[in-house]
Amino acid sequence: MSTRKNETMVRARINGEEVAFLCEPRETLLDVLRNDLELTGVKEGCGNGNCGACNVIMDGVLVNSCLVLAVEAEGRSITTVEGLAAPDRLHPLQQSFLEHAALQCGVCTPGFLVAAKSLLDHNPHPTEHEVRYWLAGNLCRCTGYDKIVRAVLDAADKMDGN
Amino acid sequence: MSVVADQDMKEFKVIGSRPIRHDGIDKVTGRALYGADIRLPGLLYGKVLRSPHAHARIRRIDASKALALPGVKAVATGADLPSLSDTVKALGEGSVNLKYQSTGLLADDKVLFHGHPVAAVAATSIHIAEEALALIEVDYELLPPVLDVRTAMQEGAPILLDDLRTRELGDQIGTQRTNVAEHIRHQRGDLARGFAEADMIVEREFTTSTVHQGYIEPQNATALWNGDGLITVWTSTQGAHSVRSQLAELLLLPETRIKVIPMEIGGGFGGKINVYLEPLAAILSLKAGHKPVKLVMNRAEVLMATGPTSGSVIRVKMGVTRDGRITAAEVWMAYEAGAYPGSPVGSGMNVVLSPYRIENLQIDGYDVVVNKPRAAAYRAPGGTNAAYAAEAVIDELAEKVGLDPLAFRLLNGAQEGDRRGDGPAFRRIGYLETVRAIQESDHYRTPLTGPHRGRGVASGYWGNWGGKSSVSASVNADGQVNLVEGSTDIGGSRTSIAMQLAETLGISEQDVKPYVVDTDSVGYNDVTGGSRTTFGTGWAVYELGLKLKEEMLARVHTPMAYSQPMAYSQPKTSASPSKKLRLSSTTTARSWRAPRPTPRNTAPVSPRTSWTSKWIPRRRAIWSTPACWTTACRSRPICR
């Protein structure tokens, strides 16, 4: 937009694609993902790092994109919920969330999925305790968490089987 | 009318199954569009200036510097909203006085809570809008705030609303300026005699806090007030029709000129029934020269200016005989309404002590304004704090007379014919049966082991309101059905409603494609709230299914000139399949002219239902029915 101040060009790899975008230094990664790159699967719930709805994976690290400045994405590799599924099939976590009815309103779901993927990337065989601990940074007000935890454990089992 | 639930569960094929929800793929891939995800050509971004004071008079607002900032397209203040008369409007869960709702949206001459909107700005970017807010000058005269009901009810307390008078026991209107909007009483029996009969009396006072619903998705609204006078609103709401009627009344416009498009909603819990941003977005759109304007709250705004449920003070006094029979109960409850009248104290009065048979009873309820945002519905509005207070006293009484909590409830529990605290007699409720079932359950009887383990017992009352629902469906040539509904899907109701239509039609729920559509595209629907949607909209869809079957049978029947009437049956193998029709076989009129490639012996419509009907009329159909038709059904309000 023409009204931006002190625009900076940032290059990053997002969901496997090389992208370049212009942003103001004060814009967050979340702002840019949602407003400029049309990755609106990344949600804003709190804007202060409490709810995890904006979780993305940046160079292998789970981050709240509302707490990352867009300029910090320079040269990084970022995965959002839009990058989880293969062209022809869902990621096992996505499939498992559907089968276990691990979502109700669904607005926290992208963050949970990305956080759970990050967990399984680090620890393919988590215990229930580890799943609950890892997902403590994600808030859900509808489900009560139990089905989410079961969905993640089941997905881990199934991914192990493949 | 026979009720579906009377059938044995074994009769059901779809109900009771656990299908993948229809909107599931979109919600796990990030494709589902919530209110904040909307983008439109020429979109402007809005922000709201909010009062930093809980109670103040506005002497002056000067927005000239904000308007001069490049990129700012419009500024709106309370003066831009029509002034409304004193009219109370029902919202489904709770009600609202339109005059107060309007001044709550954008302050008039006073701000009544921290976060009260004072002005709104539309600009070409959200950052410019934020900068513009800082340029709006507001001159406040600070007033002492009142933050709890005890203080607000005291004589000499600072008064929030100069024109407020207490509505006392129905029609009497007080003459004094006050913060008490209403006093309601339910009374029966002889309280003094009841307490005199008691061997023991317990009286306790409880204070509960203001609590926010805490949905993860903040409120949002995008509006286009078009040059032709038509308004389109995109928003996350529990009821698109409710948003439409609130907008019509707040902006003094005919409902027909407003179209509300419900986006996906990220939780509501009662908090997304009232409008907050929609009228502001519409006014800004008009003032900005018919450009679309989007407003999204941040978390701080959500917490300071929307929702919450009422904080309350509740006193419960109860008497029992030595053997545990309740002789009398007296309840006094005062609920925070927030800045404007309308707390759910009436609902709390229905809930408190309703599970018990009490002959001598008096309940007094007070609706009290305080300097907080206006209370909104929240998960059984007003009920949870009331039940908490009553049940704590019930537990204490049971302990004092030495009875197990369940035995105490069996002795005093309400059953068919007993009256609730607010009057109506219960029909069959099954409460005592439930208590007996708990007594027999291992969950209750298993000995507790280890530290930090215990069991609690509590009883509660809540009513379902039927409400109004409209649905329509089109049966397509392939035998599948497009279902159009207006009930917000806040946690899977697309699927639960589709399942009920599928069950009625005898097809798989995957052959029903449900859509939640805008207010122009479906008849009136009450909000998704008060535990009504699965039942109320479900009933509408059940009647719709019956009507569809009737209509389709009539159409198949007539030209065939069969001597015997045909029956539409559930799709299952039958000894006489020639008399069975299946949905797709009544819709294949086109295929006589151009037979579909390899119908594979009427392949099952879905993997779940394997129909083996071999009966397909092979004659050319002589009726000129289009390959699909539509029927609509509107359920009556059902009060039970």
Which residues on A lie below 8 Å from B28 (Cβ)?
Answer: 81, 90, 94, 97-98, 103, 106, 109, 113
- Tokens 């009228």 correspond to B279
Q: Do B492 and A140 touch (CB under 8 A)?
A: no
So what's the pLDDT on residue B173? 86
| pLDDT tens column, B590-602 | 333 333 333 333 3
Q: Determine phi and psi for B437, rounding to 5 degrees.
A: -65, -35
Residue B40 DSSP symbol:
-
Residues B533 and B570 in one domain: yes
Residue B137 has pLDDT above 50, yes or no: yes
- Between residues 164 and 223 of chain B, which touch chain A (CB distance below 8 Å)? 213-218
So what's the pLDDT on residue B567? 62
Its domain, for residue B631, covers 469-635
Residues B339 and B387 in one domain: yes
User: Position B172: which residue type?
Assistant: Q
Closest residue, chain B, to A31 (C-alpha): B126
Model-level pTM?
0.89
Q: Which of B187-191, B538-542, B566-570 has the lowest mean pLDDT?
A: B566-570
Cβ contacts of B37 within 8 Å, gap of 6 or more:
A34, A40, B263
Residue B33 counted as domain residue? no
Residue B330 counted as domain residue? yes
Residue B3 counted as domain residue? no
Q: How far is the CA of B601 from the CAs of A12, A154, B506, B580, B611, in angstroms? A: 54, 38, 19, 15, 10
Q: Do A41 and B24 touch (CB under 8 A)?
A: no
Can you tell me whether residue B223 is helix, strand or coil? strand
| pLDDT tens column, A65-119 | 999 999 999 999 999 999 999 999 999 999 999 999 999 999 999 999 999 999 9
Closest CB to B490 among A90, A98, A105: A105
Closest residue, chain A, to B296 (C-alpha): A44
Q: How far is the CA of B463 from the CAs of B267, B418, B421, B444, in angstroms? A: 22, 16, 13, 27
Residues B328 and B437 in one domain: yes
The CA distance from A38 to B37, in Å, is: 9
Residues B51 and B170 in one domain: no
Asked which of B428, B444, B460 is the last residue of a domain, the reply is B444
Residue B229 DSSP symbol:
S
- Tell whether A97 is within 8 A of chain B (Cβ): yes
| pLDDT confidence band for B172 (50 / 70 / 90) | confident
* Average per-residue pLDDT for chain B: 88
The CA distance from A64 to A47, in Å, is: 9
Cβ contacts of B402 within 8 Å, gap of 6 or more:
none
- Tell whether A84 is within 8 A of chain B (Cβ): yes
What's the number of CA atoms in the CB half-sphere (13 Å) around residue B348?
A: 36
Handedness of CA B617, B619, B620, B621 (dihedral sign): negative
Closest CA to A128 of A106, A112, A146: A146
Closest CB to A107 among B29, B34, B213: B34
Q: Do A98 and B24 touch (CB under 8 A)?
A: yes
| pLDDT tens column, A25-75 | 999 999 999 999 999 999 999 999 999 999 999 999 999 999 999 999 999
Q: Do B216 and A4 touch (CB under 8 A)?
A: no
Cβ contacts of A77 within 8 Å, gap of 6 or more:
A12, A13, A14, A58, A59
- Tell whether A106 is within 8 A of chain B (Cβ): yes
| pLDDT tens column, B521-532 | 999 999 999 889
Structure ipTM: 0.97
| pLDDT confidence band for B606 (50 / 70 / 90) | very low
So what's the pLDDT on residue B191? 97
The CATH number of whichever domain residue B488 belongs to comes to 3.30.365.10
Q: Do B298 and A97 touch (CB under 8 A)?
A: no
Tell me the helix, strand and coil percentages in chain A, rounded to 5: 40, 20, 40
Q: Do A84 and B29 touch (CB under 8 A)?
A: yes
Residue B377 DSSP symbol:
-
Report strand pairing: B481-485 vs B220-225: unpaired
Total tally of structural domains belonging to chain B = 3
Residue B140 has pLDDT above 70, yes or no: yes
Q: How far is the CA of B444 from the CAs of A44, B392, B437, B447, in angstroms? A: 43, 19, 10, 8
Residues B177 and B297 in one domain: no
Q: Which helix (H) or strand (E) holds B494?
A: helix B493-505
Residues B327 and B253 in one domain: no
The CATH number of whichever domain residue B106 belongs to comes to 3.90.1170.50
Residues B475 and B327 in one domain: no
Closest residue, chain A, to B299 (C-alpha): A46
Which residues on B lie below 8 Å from A34 (Cβ)?
Answer: 36-37
- Tell whether A105 is within 8 A of chain B (Cβ): yes
The CA distance from A111 to B545, in Å, is: 38
Q: Strand runs (DSSP E) across B302-373, as ranges? A: 312-320, 326-338, 361-369
So what's the pLDDT on residue B587? 58
| pLDDT tens column, B20-57 | 999 999 999 999 999 999 999 999 999 999 999 999 99
Closest residue, chain B, to A92 (C-alpha): B28
Per-residue pLDDT averaged across B161-172, rounded?
91
- Cβ atoms of B146 and B160 within 8 Å: the answer is yes
Distance (Å) from the C-alpha of residue A127 to the closest C-alpha of chain B?
A: 23
Which residues on B lie below 8 Å from A82 (Cβ)?
Answer: 29-30
| pLDDT tens column, B79-121 | 999 988 777 777 767 777 888 999 999 999 999 999 999 999 9
Residue B23, token pair as written in the block = 């909107």
The CA distance from A55 to A49, in Å, is: 9
Which residues on A lie below 8 Å from B129 (Cβ)?
Answer: none
What's the number of CA atoms in the CB half-sphere (13 Å) around residue B162?
A: 5
Closest residue, chain A, to B490 (C-alpha): A105
Residue B264 DSSP symbol:
B
| pLDDT tens column, B564-597 | 555 665 554 334 444 566 676 665 433 333 333 3
Closest residue, chain A, to B39 (C-alpha): A35
- Tell whether A25 is within 8 A of chain B (Cβ): no
Closest residue, chain A, to B28 (C-alpha): A94
- Between residues 338 and 367 of chain B, which touch chain A (CB distance below 8 Å)? none
- Tell whether A148 is within 8 A of chain B (Cβ): no
Residue B6 counted as domain residue? no
The CA distance from A156 to B7, in Å, is: 40
| pLDDT tens column, B473-504 | 999 999 999 999 999 999 999 999 999 999 99
- Tell whether A40 is within 8 A of chain B (Cβ): yes
The CA distance from A133 to A151, in Å, is: 15
Q: How far is the CA of B31 from the CAs of A143, B37, B287, B393, in angstroms? A: 20, 10, 33, 50
- Tell whether B264 is within 8 A of chain A (Cβ): yes
- Cβ atoms of B548 and B500 within 8 Å: the answer is no
Closest residue, chain B, to A86 (C-alpha): B29
Closest CA to B543 of B472, B466, B629: B472
The CA distance from B492 to B505, in Å, is: 20
Q: Do B491 and A105 touch (CB under 8 A)?
A: yes
Q: How far is the CA of B284 from the CAs of B62, B249, B289, B374, in angstroms? A: 17, 17, 9, 23
Per-residue pLDDT averaged across B238-243, rounded?
98
So what's the pLDDT on residue B636? 44
Closest CA to A30 of A49, A3, A11, A7: A49
Residue A128 has pLDDT above 50, yes or no: yes
Residues B392 and B499 in one domain: no
Complete domains list, chain A, with CATH: 8-82 (3.10.20.30), 92-161 (1.10.150.120)
Residue B626 has pLDDT above 80, yes or no: no
Residues B217 and B336 in one domain: no
- Tell whether B460 is within 8 A of chain A (Cβ): no
| pLDDT confidence band for B176 (50 / 70 / 90) | very high
Q: Do B30 and A40 touch (CB under 8 A)?
A: yes
So what's the pLDDT on residue B640? 31
So what's the pLDDT on residue B86? 76
Residue B549 has pLDDT above 50, yes or no: yes
Residue B449 counted as domain residue? no
Residue B458 counted as domain residue? no
DSSP B441-466: -HHHHSPP-SSS------------B-
Residues B120 and B221 in one domain: yes
- Tokens 């009841």 correspond to B194
| pLDDT confidence band for B536 (50 / 70 / 90) | very high
Q: Do A107 and B266 touch (CB under 8 A)?
A: yes
Residue B47 counted as domain residue? yes
So what's the pLDDT on residue B288? 98
Which residues on A lie below 8 Å from B37 (Cβ)?
Answer: 34, 40
Which residues on B lie below 8 Å from A97 (Cβ)?
Answer: 28
Neighbouring C-beta atoms of residue B251, cutoff 10 Å? 20
- Cβ atoms of B113 and B371 within 8 Å: the answer is yes
Q: Do B264 and A97 touch (CB under 8 A)?
A: no
- Cβ atoms of B631 and B544 within 8 Å: the answer is yes
Residues B404 and B513 in one domain: no
What does the CA dihedral B354, B356, B359, B365 come to, rounded to 10 degrees? -30
Asked which of B305, B326, B361 is the last residue of a domain, the reply is B305
Asked which of B288, B305, B322 is the last residue of a domain, the reply is B305
Closest residue, chain B, to A84 (C-alpha): B29
So what's the pLDDT on residue B604? 33
The CA distance from B612 to B602, in Å, is: 7
- Cβ atoms of B111 and B58 within 8 Å: the answer is yes
Closest CB to A82 among B30, B264, B491: B30
So what's the pLDDT on residue B568? 60
Q: Do B28 and A98 touch (CB under 8 A)?
A: yes
Residues B256 and B228 in one domain: yes
> ∠ CA(B2), CA(B5), CA(B8), 5° rounding?
105
> ∠ CA(B430), CA(B434), CA(B436), 5° rounding?
120
Residue B25 counted as domain residue? no
Q: Strand runs (DSSP E) across B209-244, as ranges? A: 220-225, 231-235
Burial class (CB in 10 A: 0-12, 13-18, 19+), A93: buried
